[in-house]
Amino acid sequence: MLVQDRIPTKGSAQNPQNLTKSQVRNLPSLHPSRFSESKSLDFSTWVSENLYKIFAILVLLATVAALFFLRNVGYNAALICFETEATKVDTIHFPKIDWNSIKPNFDKVTPYSNFRAEKWIIVSVSDYPSDSIKGFVRIKGWQVLAVGNARTPNDWSLKGAIFLSLDMQSKLGFRVLEHLPYDSYVRKSVGYLFAIQHGATRIFDADNRGEVIDGDLGKHFDVELVGEQARQEIILQYTHEDPNRTVVNPYVHFGQRSVWPRGLPLENVGEIGHEEYYTEVFGGKQFIQQGISNGLPDVDSVFYFTRKSGLEAYDIRFDEKAPKVALPQGMMVPLNSFNTLYHTSAFWGLMLPVSVSTMASDVLRGYWAQRLLWEIGGYLVVYPPTVHRHDRIGSYPFAEEKDLHVNVGRLSKFLVSWKSHKNRLFEKILELSFAMAEERFWTEKDVKFTADWLQDLLSVGYQQPRLMSLEINRPRAAIGHGDRKEFVPRKLPSVHLGVEETGSVNYEIGNLIRWRKNFGNIVLVMFCSGPVERSALEWRLLYGRIFKTVIILSSQKNEDLIVDQAQLDYVYKQLPTIMNRYSSAEGFLFLQDNTILNYWNLVQADKTKLWITNKVSKSWTPVSNNNGDWFSKQGEMVKKVVETMPAHFQVNYKEAAKSNQGFVVCSSELFFVPRSNVEDFIDLIALVGDLEMHHKVAIPMFFLAMDSPQNFDPIFSTMVYKKKPPSGNTTLYSAQAPAIHPWSVSSEQEFIKLIRVMAAGDPLLMELV
């Protein structure tokens, strides 16, 4: 990084501490008449000489008076502007771009300024050239571009390859450079721009351990889409008959139904049946082409660590004779940066996000690009094995996939439903990136990155494709018997598996699907008292398989893990914001991390009723106002809020509380608010206002005001509840209980122990450890 020289200001030049001795000697002396006789002190003279002081004092007094007045006429109304300013902190700003003022960027700094090539292989390098990269150089007609990072040796060199060191990258003048981390493969974005700047029309996105089968990309991919060499053929296509099916596992089509790609939502892992039938589409617009990898395919860490025993390397083989298959609009597959061919019409889709984890970047890019591909009439095609990747007996931790397992299921549904009315592709791209930041799939950093990426594309001469009308917005014709094409995938042996595939697997997967169907539109709000760096991802992995989404709150905000800040004593005040954000959810389940939820025992609960631990005596306790200072203060606040409640709330509360003169304290680690009560719940929280009413007091008060306890669903009445955990080696866990309290999880080891005991109720959890 270049550091600008600091130029002294005029003020600093006159600082006596910075002057030389000779300069000090020449300083002017104090005014000789500073202490001379006093001037006349008549009133007019005094006013004229002190006018500015009088004016300043009057302004100060007016300001104090105004603030005092504003506070007295109503804090919330009069000072609403201050609240508005506070909310701006989290506001995501939409970039403003003058598309007509982008200046061309020509390569004037590298030795390759006059070099041009149409077909490029781009790979990130962190070590000296591997055998795979040496193999890429031998592929005829393709130029290899190696993109360095902070870990790349300074003397990296390979005959036939262009190497972009960090130093050379910094001189290229691309806007995206300021967003890129120094030690990540996402610096390939610089390489993509460099290749486009030097005439690229096809880019093969590769990694440094994949060897192209038979050393010929043209043998496997459709490198030519137009002209005499193009294969003018009809391509098999997944059927669009089920509009709710947004993601598929392409590995099933190529003979491996027990393997799933990185980025496939975990709830889709159980979909192992082959297609009943396919349709067809004319070739020529497969602008993105995803290849399958033999050996070690692109799998996630859940698969990698659970599907083999010992330290043997994976060597998975797919059906090389299976036909390539296209995806219709409304359906997607996970894409990677290991083995994918991009044609010029899809070069905008090469952008690798920078605000998510590295193992999520290319997958989120793939889903984002597939949705935008529909806007230009393009589609994605998956091809039989094109490369062989070697397993190095080592993978990445769950933490590297933190943005995957939680969000991809929700992301695919969001993308299919997303619509834009912009008139140019780049405007739609920027609008979608902004919408994804609003939905927290990535952050504002990627919105700014997208804006700079699009401007860089235009600066290197890229022409954005024209828009086409979306098929997904038109009524789809019924698929007749003549349009149905059959293909039955082979079932290749899964010798790599470290587990047996038995009939019980289908039963367990069926249970997972049933639970997901039951709770898939319920938002879980979880407060973590422990360190979120060690537990947030694990909780999302555990409960994200079941619920619509998992919102994590903690005393410390963590933007990387998407953890919002809240104070446990008043955490209920955060709930209205979450409830308004998910306005279509069936309900909201609150859970503290000291309580374990056995979701399989909640299926019979009524999702139209309130759930709380009112039947658990150690959790739900009536108290009087005379139990101590704290109880007295809380009781006064309860009385004050109840007096301001609308009539129906007051009647409900006083009817439920008439048996005692005090109020109810509930531990409130676990409760559920259905959609029908959300508006009442939010209104009641608003009545509390700025009062410091404790969470354990406020929640039972709200529940008693909303409905009679006899109407609460008693689902938690049989939960295991202890004030303190048992001593010794005994455990209080029971797979038959709806919930267990207390339970502590503050590390990955404790999470693994928890998963192992919970597997008694959900055996598929063992896939996570």
Instruction: Indicate whether 691 pLDDT > 90.
Output: yes
Select the more confidently predicted residue: 188 or 37. 188
How confident is the model over 440-447, as a mean pLDDT? 94
The pLDDT > 90 percentage for the chain reads 61
Q: Which two tokens stand for residue 122?
A: 């781009």
Q: What is the average pLDDT across 721-736?
A: 79
Average pLDDT over residues 103-111: 95
Report the DSSP pairing between strands 720-721 and 210-212: unpaired
Average pLDDT for 47-76: 56
pLDDT level of residue 643 (50, 70, 90 thresholds):
very high
Please give the full DSSP string across 210-248, using - where no structure is assigned.
EEEGGG-HHHHS----SSTTS---EEEE-----TT--B-
**What pLDDT does 402 receive?**
65
pLDDT confidence band for 149 (50 / 70 / 90)? very high
- Taking the C-alpha atoms of residue 408 and residue 368, their distance in angstroms, rounded to an integer, is 11
Q: How far apart are CA 434 and CA 110, in angstroms?
A: 34
What SS3 string covers 154-211? CCCCCCCEEEECHHHHHCCCCHHHHHCCCCCHHHHHHHHHHHHHCCCCEEEEECCCEE
Q: Judging by beta carbons within 10 Å of its beta carbon (0-12, 13-18, 19+), is residue 76 exposed, middle or buried? A: exposed
339-343 and 288-295 beta bridge pairing: antiparallel
Distance CA 502, CA 29 (A): 99
**675: pLDDT strictly greater than 80:** yes
State yes or no: pLDDT of 16 exceeds 80.
no
Q: Are the beta carbons of 347 and 457 closer than 8 angstroms?
A: yes
Which amino acid makes up residue 637? M
| pLDDT tier for residue 503 given thresholds of 50, 70 and 90 | very low
- Asked whether 146 and 164 are in contact (CB, 8 A), the reply is yes
pLDDT(505) > 90: no
**DSSP tag of 485:** B
What is d(CA 678, CA 610) in angstroms, rounded to the nearest whole number? 10
Question: What is the C-alpha separation between 67 and 89, in angstroms, rounded?
Answer: 23
SS3 497: coil
Query: What's the Cα-to-Cα distance from 521 to each of 279, 298, 434, 585, rounded to whole Å?
Result: 32, 30, 24, 5
Q: According to the per-residue pLDDT averaged within each range, which of 11-25, 135-149, 745-759 is highest?
A: 135-149
Look at residue 287 and tell me whether its pLDDT is greater than 70: yes
SS3 721: strand
Residue 547 reports pLDDT greater than 70: yes
Q: What is the average per-residue pLDDT within 91-112? A: 94
- Whether the Cβ atoms of residue 190 and residue 164 lie closer than 8 Å to each other: yes
Question: Any idea what DSSP says for residue 120?
Answer: E
What are the tens digits of pLDDT across the range 26-49?
433 333 333 334 344 455 555 566
429 vs 490: CA distance, rounded Å: 39
- Beta carbons within 8 Å of 664's beta carbon, 6+ residues apart: 620, 621, 622, 623, 657, 697, 700, 701, 704
Q: Is the pLDDT of residue 84 over 80?
A: no
Lowest mean pLDDT among 145-159, 171-185, 257-271: 257-271
**Residue 485 pairs with which residues in a beta bridge?**
278
Question: Between the CA of residue 402 and those of 356, 358, 688, 740, what are the distances in Å?
Answer: 9, 10, 36, 26
3-state secondary structure 611-641: ECCCCCCCCEEEECCCCCHHHHHHHHHHHHH
Question: Distance (Å, rounded) from C-alpha 403 to C-alpha 536?
Answer: 11
Task: Find the mean pLDDT for residues 320-325.
Answer: 95
| Residue range 679-708: mean pLDDT, rounded | 96
Which range has highest mean pLDDT (258-267, 591-600, 759-768)?
A: 591-600
Q: What is the mean pLDDT of residues 204-209?
A: 94
- Using CB atoms within 10 A of its CB, is residue 227 exposed (0-12), middle (13-18) or buried (19+)? exposed
Using CA atoms in the order 31, 37, 42, 43, what is the torsion angle rounded to 10 degrees?
Answer: 40
Distance CA 214, CA 106 (A): 36
CA distance 650 to 639: 11
More confident residue, 234 or 497: 234
Residue 229 phi, psi dihedral angles, 5° rounding: -85, -5
pLDDT tens digits along 399-423:
677 667 767 888 999 999 999 999 9
Give the span between the Cα atoms of 723 and 617, in whole angstroms. 11
Q: Does pLDDT of 175 surpass 70?
A: yes
pLDDT of residue 468: 92
Token pair of 327 as six digits: 């995806």
* Exposed / middle / buried, residue 151 (Cβ in 10 Å: 0-12, 13-18, 19+): exposed
pLDDT over 90 at 438, yes or no: yes
How far is it, in rounded angstroms, from Cα 414 to Cα 445? 20
| pLDDT tens readout for residues 510-522 | 677 788 888 989 9
* Nearest CA-CA partner of 584 in 610, 552, 548: 548
Token pair for residue 217?
């990309």
Longest alpha-carbon distance in the chain: 113
pLDDT given for residue 412 in this prediction: 92
One-character DSSP codes across 538-605: HHHHHHTTTSSEEEEEESS-BTTTTEEE--GGGGGGGHHHHHHHTTT-SEEEEEETTSEE-GGG-TTS
Q: pTM of the entire structure? A: 0.62
More confident residue, 441 or 308: 441
Give the per-residue pLDDT at 662: 84
Helices first, then strands: H and E counts in the chain: 24, 21
User: Between 726 and 446, whose confidence is greater?
Assistant: 446
Among 322, 256, 272, 706, which residue's Cα sits nearest to residue 512? 272
As a whole number, mean pLDDT of residues 367-390 equals: 96
pLDDT in the model for residue 548: 87
Instruction: Specify the pLDDT at position 132.
Output: 93
Mean pLDDT rounded to a whole number for the chain: 84
Asked if residue 252 lies in contact with residue 489, where contact means CB atoms within 8 angstroms, the answer is yes
Residue 758: is its pLDDT beyond 50? yes
Give the pLDDT band of residue 566 (cuts 50, 70, 90).
Answer: very high
Sign of the dihedral defined by the CA atoms of residues 259, 264, 266, 272, in that order: negative
Answer yes or no: is pLDDT of 395 > 80: no
Tell me the C-alpha distance between 604 and 599, whole Å: 10
| The predicted structure's pLDDT at residue 194 | 98
Q: Is 250 exposed, middle or buried (0-12, 13-18, 19+ CB in 10 A)?
A: buried
Q: Is 357 left (phi over 0), alpha (psi -120 to 50) or beta?
A: beta
pLDDT at 504: 47
Q: Which helix (H) or strand (E) holds 433?
A: helix 425-438
Length of the chain as a residue count: 769
CA–CA gap between residue 324 and residue 219 (Å, rounded) = 13
Min mean pLDDT across 270-274, 473-477, 499-503, 532-536 is at: 499-503
Q: What is the mean pLDDT of residues 378-403?
A: 81
Structural element, H or E, at residue 415: helix 408-417
Q: Give residue 544's pLDDT.
A: 85
285, pLDDT greater than 50:
yes
C-alpha to C-alpha distances, 41 to 32, 49, 54, 55, 502, nearest whole angstrom:
22, 10, 16, 20, 105
Long-range CB pairs of 220-226, under 8 A, 24+ apart, other chains included: 220/291, 220/383, 220/384, 220/385, 220/386, 221/289, 221/291, 221/341, 221/383, 221/386, 222/283, 222/286, 222/289, 222/381, 223/119, 223/341, 225/283, 225/284, 225/285, 225/286, 225/287, 225/343, 226/284
Give the residue, 148 or 301, on which the prediction is more confident: 148
pLDDT of residue 480 exceeding 90, the answer is no
Residue 595 main-chain phi, psi, to 5 deg: -130, 135
Q: By mean pLDDT, which of 62-66, 296-300, 749-753 is the weakest?
A: 62-66
Residue 767: what pLDDT? 65
